[in-house]
Amino acid sequence: GENVEQHPSTLSVQEGDSAVIKCTYSDSASNYFPWYKQELGKRPQLIIDIRSNVGEKKDQRIAVTLNKTAKHFSLHITETQPEDSAVYFCAASVGSNYQLIWGAGTKLIIKP
Number of residues this chain uses to bind other proteins (CB under 8 A): 21
Q: Are 8 and 108 in contact (CB under 8 A)?
A: no
Q: Which of 14, 54, 99, 111 binds other proteins (CB under 8 A)?
A: 99
What residues numbered 2-21 form the site for other proteins, per CB under 8 A?
A: none
Q: How far apart are CA 32 and CA 12, in angstroms?
A: 28
User: Is residue 85 at the binding interface for other proteins, with CB under 8 A as the rule?
Assistant: no
Which lies closer to other proteins via its Cβ, residue 16 or residue 58?
A: 58
Q: How far apart are CA 20 and CA 92, in angstroms?
A: 18
User: Is residue 34 at the binding interface for other proteins, with CB under 8 A as the rule?
Assistant: yes
Element (H, E) at 107: strand 106-111
User: Is residue 32 at the binding interface for other proteins, with CB under 8 A as the rule?
Assistant: yes
Q: Are 77 and 37 in contact (CB under 8 A)?
A: no
DSSP 69: T
User: Is residue 43 at the binding interface for other proteins, with CB under 8 A as the rule?
Assistant: yes
Q: Which residues pair with 59 in a beta bridge?
A: 62
User: Is residue 98 at the binding interface for other proteins, with CB under 8 A as the rule?
Assistant: yes
Give contact residues for other proteins (rule: CB under 8 A): 32, 34, 38, 40, 42-46, 49, 87, 89, 93, 98-100, 102-105, 107
